[in-house]
Chains A and B, each alone.
Chain A
């Protein structure tokens, strides 16, 4: 099922909604500068490409991976679908090295939204000013009021299926689509929450509960983290890319951008990319990096020139620093009932209780936690790496698969300069220096996780669970090119524009000054919608 030959060529692109189908696509000349060259077609880049193209800008968006047709290319199989991940070599280091690869990466048009869990939560409003209002972290250069309309826009575009009344945060309209029927794994969370007297909700999810355009309703097949073969999931590949192409954007798949070219007057002039076996160049009036929080700083660092010896946009020395992740210590328990957690989206129930309660905590920050639904391959890897089970002990424990349930938080970590992406000396298949990711938890990060493990354990016991144990993991990588108001303390401004290079922009999870206690994809897409609007406004003023 290899798709390692570019498909989006000669004025057409794969039709994601039709087996073997094609749709017409613009074909921009390489020498003629386009308005925007966007590097990365995931939650940030695909959303931005769509919005900019719909505003009339000429846009080419590059992705290092393939342009999938989910109906043809996605098997119901964990092993086969490992092809969705970024598996180029990376080095992980620090006291608490982060598992990379499948855990927090995507390679392909749509990026990691192809295999994300579809959890679509807004940030708590105070998190945008968490230093001034909650006394920790760092303030964003934006307020909740400024981003709220874009949360609404993203939720509408993705037809988020969620409850009529979401229990946390300021009042908002109902979600576009009704919530999904809850699976048993989610009902465990609900039962525990009710017995402990805290709130829970049906998780707002980016998979449709009724038909939307060409997407059929979710059939609860449960392979969401391995690509949706029916297109119920509103990945960037399904939700934004067809719109972008229809509006005149060009997508170049299997196109690895290796260097940003600097031209006259301290402005970027285009990007060098490797496609179809050779290096090519696309001229552009603006370059936007949307490669996520490892590849974006890596590209800036790998684009160093004599004038920018420490990498582009890096006069502050902050490119790659202040990396955050979400800690995800899991608690697991056996139940008398059959749960069969392979059915339905993996995280159907959520509690944001500890994101919105500030008392009774011995730590700063928050965490949401969700019900779980690992498939057998992934589950066996949790058992082997957490409990060191092998032999008959492993096979016996795996036999309990249908009676297991668990809770995993999306737990905030502190932005700290020593947690970072840097370049190793080793070269990859393109001749580019590979990234080295360094991460260690702070004392606060550890206290927060202890709290989460204690609380989730109480909840699973309250729900009727027994034989509890816990695992460790992380999800998402954020914050390596943070936005801010002060050029000496941030890489970009509140529009994602680099302080050092006025036509170089960033639009992905690297922007996050803090990571909050929720999954980032909805916030990335809301930011992209806002940045597109701001670019339009700046263009009208002649300030691009």
Chain B
């Protein structure tokens, strides 16, 4: 996907007054300390990787923004959003059940495991799940649409858009302490903000 902010890299501000020590420490970990698999089984991990590749396809990146490792890390450390719907089990169980149901849905529709699907077939399976067009018997533990939208997709998008490469891609200013911004009005841009090229 082509960015409107080609040539803009948030990380070039690393040694400027837009970055402070605290933020640099947090981003160093995000960029370089990618968690190892602890929570998911190897099969679950591979399935989730295949799903994430459809939710946030990054064919243009040699080094795609990692998503699966951070989902695993959240579940391994028990950090959640702080609430769950009363028709949902606790997060660890919801994730395992939801992934299993997606794979079951793939078998039902395509007679193949999800990881073996071509991109267009994988997208069709996920579109059906997002629309709650599923076989209820394959979703005994979590409601299909709610798991797909409110847990899987919402979590994956949050992780992707917490990565500096995603900030650069959309022209977000990124970290801004202590310098902040000066020019706030319509079509105004500080020199340390990304320039749009349309």
A interface residues, Cβ below 8 angstroms from B: 1, 72-80, 82, 85-93, 97, 99-102, 105, 181-184, 187, 218-223, 229-230, 337-340, 342-344, 375-377, 379-381, 383-385, 388, 390-392, 394-396, 398-399, 401-402, 436-437
A379-B184 contact, Cβ under 8 Å, with A75-B26, A86-B82, A99-B83: no
Q: Say yes or no: B57 contacts A380, CB within 8 Å.
A: no
Name which of B41-49, B102-110, B166-174 contacts chain A. B166-174
Q: Output the least CB separation between B137 and chain A (Å).
A: 24
Q: Mark each residue of chain B from 123 to 150: 1 if its CB lies under 8 Å from any CB of chain A, else 0.
A: 1001000100000000000000000011
Also in contact, A376 and B166, with CB within 8 A (given A89-B80, A229-B177)? yes
In the assembled complex, which residues on chain B have CB atoms less than 8 Å from the CB atom of A223? 176-177
State A73–B82 Cα separation when bound (angstroms).
Answer: 21
A93 is contacted by which of B4, B86, B158, B167 (Cβ under 8 Å)? Answer: B86
Task: Return 13 A-B CB contacts under 8 Å, by A number.
Answer: A75-B175, A76-B20, A76-B176, A92-B84, A184-B185, A184-B186, A220-B181, A221-B179, A376-B167, A385-B149, A385-B154, A398-B170, A401-B171
Q: Return chain B residues, CB-CB under 8 Å to A99.
A: 83
Using A89-B80, A229-B178, A402-B171 as known contacts, list a sample of 5 further A-B pairs with CB atoms less than 8 Å apart, ordered by residue number in A: A338-B186, A340-B188, A380-B161, A394-B157, A402-B170
Select one of B3, B19, B26, B149 contacting A388, CB under 8 A.
B149
A79 contacts B158, C-beta separation under 8 Å = yes
Q: List, in ascending order, chain B residues with CB within 8 A of A80's CB.
A: 26
Residue of B nearest to A191 (CB): B186
The distance in angstroms between the C-alpha atoms of A47 and B26, with both chains bound, is: 32
- Measured between beta carbons, the chain B residues less than 8 angstroms from A218 are 180
B1 contacts A184, C-beta separation under 8 Å: no
Mark out the residues of chain B between 25 and 57 whose CB falls within 8 Å of any chain A CB in the assembled complex: 25-27, 30, 54-57
Please name all residues of chain A whose beta carbon is closer than 8 Å to the beta carbon of B123 when the two chains form the complex.
Answer: 391
| Contact assessment for B185 and A395 in the assembled complex, using a CB-CB cutoff below 8 Å | no
**Most chain A beta-carbon contacts within 10 A, residue among B79, B123, B162:** B162
| Contact of A187 with B82 in the complex, beta carbons under 8 Å | no
From known contacts A90-B83, A219-B181, infer whether A343 and B90 are also in contact, taking CB-CB under 8 Å.
no
The interface bits of chain B over 67-86 (1 if a CB of A lies within 8 angstroms of the residue's CB, else 0) are: 00000000000011111111
Given A91-B84, A401-B171, answer yes or no on A221-B22 (Cβ-Cβ < 8 Å): no
Instruction: Report the 10 A-B pairs with minimum CB-CB distance, sorted nearest first.
Output: A219-B180, A101-B82, A76-B175, A87-B82, A100-B83, A221-B176, A79-B162, A380-B157, A183-B184, A221-B180
Q: Are A381 and B158 in contact (CB under 8 A)?
A: yes
In the complex, residue of chain B having the shortest beta-carbon distance to the beta carbon of A335: B186
On chain B, the residues within 8 Å of A79 by CB distance are 30, 158-159, 162
Complex contact B186–A380 (CB within 8 A): no
- A91 contacts B86, C-beta separation under 8 Å: yes
Residue from the list B85, B176, B180, B193 in contact with A92, Cβ < 8 A = B85
Give the shortest distance, in Å, between A486 (CB) and chain B (any CB). 33
Inter-chain contact A89/B57, CB cutoff 8 Å: no
Known interface pairs A101-B82, A221-B177, A392-B57; A77-B157 also in contact (CB < 8 Å):
no
- Most chain-B Cβ atoms within 10 A of its Cβ — which of A74, A182, A230, A391? A391
Contacts of B189 in A (CB 8 A): 338, 340
Whether B16 sits at the interface, judged by CB under 8 Å, is no
Contact residues in A for B157 (Cβ distance below 8 Å):
380-381, 383-384, 390, 394
Query: Is the CB–CB distance between B176 and A100 below 8 Å?
Result: no
Number of CB contacts from chain A to chain B under 8 A? 201
A87–B173 CB distance below 8 A? no
Residues of chain B contacted by A1 (CB below 8 angstroms): 22, 25-26
Closest to B22 in A: A75
Q: Judging by beta carbons under 8 Å apart, are A337 and B173 in contact?
A: no
B193: nearest chain-A partner, CB-CB: A340
**Which of A230, A337, A375, A395 sits near B172, CB closer than 8 Å?**
A375
B side interface size, CB within 8 A? 61
Residue among B3, B79, B154 with the highest chain A CB neighbour number at 10 A: B154
CA distance A1 to B25 in the complex (A): 9
Q: Are B162 and A75 in contact (CB under 8 A)?
A: no
- Whether B83 contacts A344 by the Cβ 8 Å rule is no
The answer to whether residues A343 and B3 also contact, given A77-B26, A90-B82, A105-B82 and a CB cut-off of 8 A, is no
Residues of B within 8 A of A73 (CB): 22
Instruction: Judge whether A93 and B25 touch: CB under 8 Å.
Output: no
Q: How far is the CA of A170 from the CA of B180 in the complex (A)?
A: 36
Q: Report whether A343 and B173 are in contact in the complex, using a CB–CB cutoff of 8 Å.
A: yes
Bound Cα distance A144, B158 (Å): 43
A339–B186 contact, CB under 8 A? yes
Is the CB–CB distance between A385 and B86 below 8 Å? no
Shortest C-beta distance, A386 to chain B (Å), equals 10
In the complex where A376-B166, A385-B154, A402-B196 touch, is A222 in contact with B82 (Cβ < 8 A)? Answer: no
Chain B residues in 8 Å Cβ range of A402: 170-172, 196
User: Once the chains bind, are A344 and B184 in contact (CB under 8 Å)?
Assistant: yes
Q: Nearest chain A CB to B198's CB is how many angstroms away? A: 10
Given contacts A222-B181, A385-B150, contact A92 B158 (CB under 8 A): no
User: Assuming A79-B162, A338-B189, A376-B170, is B82 touching A102 (CB within 8 A)?
Assistant: yes
B56 x A85 contact (CB < 8 A): no
Among A220, A230, A343, A390, contact of B130 (Cβ-Cβ < 8 Å):
A390
A44-B174 Cα distance, complex, nearest whole Å = 33
- CB closest residue in chain A, given B27: A77
Q: Would A220 and B184 be within 8 Å (CB), given that A76-B176, A380-B157 are in contact?
A: yes
A84 to B55, CA, bound (A): 28
From A218, which residue of chain B is reached at the shortest CB distance?
B180
Q: A264 to B80: give the CA distance in the assembly, Å.
A: 41
What residues of A have a CB within 8 angstroms of the CB of B12 in the complex?
none
If the complex has contacts A344-B181, A399-B3, are A229 and B84 also in contact, measured as CB distance less than 8 A?
no
B residues in contact with A388, CB < 8 Å: 130, 149, 153
Closest chain-B Cβ to A485's Cβ sits at a distance in Å of 34
Query: In the docked arrangement, what's the CA distance between A383 and B54, Å?
Result: 16
Q: Are B186 and A337 interface neighbours, CB within 8 A?
A: yes
Residue of A219, A380, A392 with most chain B CB atoms under a 10 A cut-off: A380
Instruction: Evaluate contact between B179 and A342: CB separation under 8 angstroms.
Output: no
Are B82 and A89 closer than 8 Å at their CB atoms? yes
> Counting CB contacts under 8 A, is B187 at the interface?
yes
A72–B22 touching, CB < 8 Å: yes
Q: Which chain B positions have C-beta within 8 A of A105?
A: 82
CA distance A187 to B185 in the complex (A): 8
CB distance from A460 to the nearest CB of B (A): 15
On whether the beta carbons of B181 and A221 are closer than 8 Å, the reply is: yes
Contact of B82 among A88, A97, A390 (CB under 8 A): A88
User: In the bound complex, do residue A76 and residue B84 qualify as a contact, i.e. CB atoms below 8 Å apart?
Assistant: no
Whether B184 lies near A230 (C-beta < 8 A) is no
Do A377 and B181 contact each other (CB < 8 Å), given the known contacts A92-B85, A337-B187, A388-B149? Answer: no
